[in-house]
Amino acid sequence: MHLKTTNWFCIYFLGLLLIGNRRCLNCNGVPGPFDCQTVTECGPHEVCYAKKYVEPGGIELFDLGCGAQSLCSTSDPFGKRDIVETDIEDDKGTSTICLACCNTTDLCNINGLCGAPPFIALPGTSLCYDCEVSRQPDDCTKITLCNSRQSCHLESTRNLIGDIRWRHGCVDKKQCVTSNSSQCSYCCNTDLCNTNTTFTQSPTSDNLFAVSKPHISGIDVQPRYIRYGSTVTIKCNVSGNPTPSVSFLVQGKSLASNVHINGNTATISNYLPRNDDVYRCQATNCLDNSYYQFQLQGHL
C-alpha cells in the first residue's frame, strides 16, 4: 500500500476534477466507518476500501484505507463491489467476512460498504478537516462534521517563535468574511475543502481567489550613486496575496533616526557615513516570509 503526501502547490479545486488522488477514511479496528475520523490521500492507482472482520471473541470490526485497484475485483474502475469471504482466517484467528472497494467520491468508504449503514448527512452540513495546529495547510488528517450554521474554516497562526502554522475546523458562518482574498482566513462549504489554499473560495460566491507567498523581485535605489548629504530612497518590489507587509532591517542594529519607512519604501534623509551598512527588506504575509539583502555605500 502506498500513501502519497498532498502537494502544497496542487490546484485543489481543479485537482478533484482532473488529477487529484482519492482521499479515503483511514483507520484500523474501528466498530464502523462512522467511528473513523482520520483521512489519508491515496496513491495515483489506489482506491478506497473497507474490510469487515470478526475477532476471536466474536467482535466485528472494520479496517478502512487505500488499496490497489486490484484489491477488489470489479469490471468498473469507478464503481464498487463487495467481495464476501466467510472462510478466510489469519494466524490470529481473525476471520474476514467482507472486503469492498470504491472509487466514486472522496471518503466513499464511509458510505455503506460491507453492510455498514449509509452515511446520510443533514442538509447544509459538511465534513471538514479539524486540526488545532498543522505545519502546512494540507497536513491535517483529522475530520469532523460541521453543522448547517457552520462553514469549514482554515486560518494561519504563528507559534511561540513566529513560525507559520495552520488551524482547521468549523466556524459560525457569520464569522466568515465576504471576500477571502484579504487575509489568510478561509471559509468554504463543501466536504474537505479547508485544506490547500492555492485556490480558495468565498462562502458567499463562486469566485476563486489566488493566494501566494511573498516574493521580492529586487530593489530600486535612487540615486544609484549615493553622495553623503543626499536623500536616498529604497523601494522594495514585493508581490504576494494577501498583500505582504514590508519592513526594513539593518544588520546587527536598529535603523538610524534619519531612516523613514512608508509601506515598501525607505527614505534616508541627509545620508551619512553611519548609514553605510548591510540592509534587509523583509516581506511577510500569513503564508510565509521572504527577504532581500543589499548593501548601501555612500561617497564624498
Which uninterrupted H or E stretch holds 16?
helix 12-17
Q: What is the CATH number of domain 214-296?
A: 2.60.40.10
Helix/strand number for the chain, H first, E second: 1, 22
Q: What is the pLDDT of residue 201?
A: 43
Q: What would you report as the CA-atom Rg of the chain, rounded to the nearest whole angstrom?
A: 27
Residues 6+ apart with CB under 8 A from 6: 41, 138, 195, 196
Write out the chain's pLDDT in tens, 300 residues. Answer: 333 322 222 222 223 333 468 999 999 999 999 999 999 999 988 999 999 999 988 999 999 999 998 888 644 444 445 454 444 555 567 899 999 999 999 999 999 999 999 999 899 999 999 999 999 888 999 999 999 999 999 988 889 988 888 999 999 998 886 444 445 788 889 999 998 654 444 444 434 456 788 999 999 999 999 999 999 999 999 999 888 999 999 987 889 999 999 999 999 999 999 999 999 999 998 888 899 999 999 999
Q: Rounded to an integer, what distance in angstroms lies between the CA atom of residue 197 and that of residue 183?
A: 11
Q: What is the pLDDT of residue 89?
A: 56
Q: Strands 39-41 and 46-54, how do they pair?
A: unpaired
Distance (Å) of CA 60 to CA 28, 30, 32, 52, 238: 12, 9, 9, 7, 59
Domain span(s) for CATH 2.60.40.10 in the chain = 214-296
Q: What is the pLDDT of residue 91?
A: 56
DSSP 69-131: GGGS--S-TTS-EEE--SSEE-TTS-EEEEEEEE-SSTTGGGSSGGGPPP--PPTT-EEEE--
3-state secondary structure of 170: strand
245: which strand partners?
284
Q: What is the CATH number of domain 12-115?
A: 2.10.60.10
- Asked whether 96 and 85 are in contact (CB, 8 A), the reply is yes
The residue assigned the cell 464476501 is 84
Q: Which CATH number fits domain 126-210: 2.10.60.10, 3.90.25.10, 2.60.40.3880, 2.60.40.10?
A: 2.10.60.10
Global pTM?
0.69
C-alpha cell at 52: 469487515
Domain span(s) for CATH 2.10.60.10 in the chain = 12-115, 126-210
Q: Rounded to an integer, what distance in angstroms lies between the CA atom of residue 139 and that of residue 100?
A: 27
C-alpha cell at 218: 529586487
